[in-house]
Amino acid sequence: MTEETRRQEIKEAVRAGERALASLRIAQGRLASARNLGVWDIVGGGLITSMLKHNRINEASSYLERAKADLRVFERELKDVPDFAGLGIEIGGFLTFADFFLDGFLADCMVQSKINDARRQVESAIWQVERLLGQLRRWC
């Protein structure tokens, strides 16, 4: 592989990682909003609070789906970068968790717990993507 081809593969991986990071950050924001609304809902926020919370959960779910797809693309792009394929992001747990999170909820306390779990998963994925992007950018 030529140096130019290697740089091109790194640039493609960086673009894919940036897309994944953007989706993850939006999901993170929606989850933070849902968590805050969930606290109000638990202490008696009422119908409007509950509706807003579920709206944020639905938005977060949508961005989690987008993030899953973006992370898969990022993972594929990382495999194209020589000397980098073995350092790929570990998204298996995140993807499984996101599927579970997207299944739905019943009780407010359970919802709050799942929101918090999802936030931790997203934060971990963000950290991994940021770390990998930093390494890729140093190689350009």
Question: What value does the mean pLDDT take over residues 107-125?
Answer: 81
Cβ atoms < 10 Å from Cβ of 131: 12
Indicate the number of domains in the chain: 1
**Where in the sequence is the domain holding 135, given as residue range(s)?**
3-139
pLDDT at 103 over 90: no
pLDDT at 102: 47
Secondary structure of the chain in the HEC alphabet?
CCHHHHHHHHHHHHHHHHHHHHHHHHHHHHHHHHHHHHHHHHCCCCHHHHHHHHHHHHHHHHHHHHHHHHHHHHHHHHHCCCCCHHHCCCCHHHHHHHHHHCCCCCCHHHHHHHHHHHHHHHHHHHHHHHHHHHHHHHHC
Q: Name the nearest CA neighbour of 122 among 19, 20, 28, 23.
A: 28
The model carries a pTM of 0.77
* Lowest mean pLDDT segment, chosen from 53-57, 92-96, 108-112: 92-96
pLDDT at 54 over 80: yes
pLDDT at 56 over 80: yes
pLDDT at 43: 76
Question: In which band, very low, low, confident or very high, does the pLDDT at 105 lie, cut at 50, 70 and 90?
Answer: very low
Question: In which band, very low, low, confident or very high, does the pLDDT at 70 lie, cut at 50, 70 and 90?
Answer: very high
pLDDT at 98 over 70: no
Question: What value does the mean pLDDT take over residues 108-135?
Answer: 85
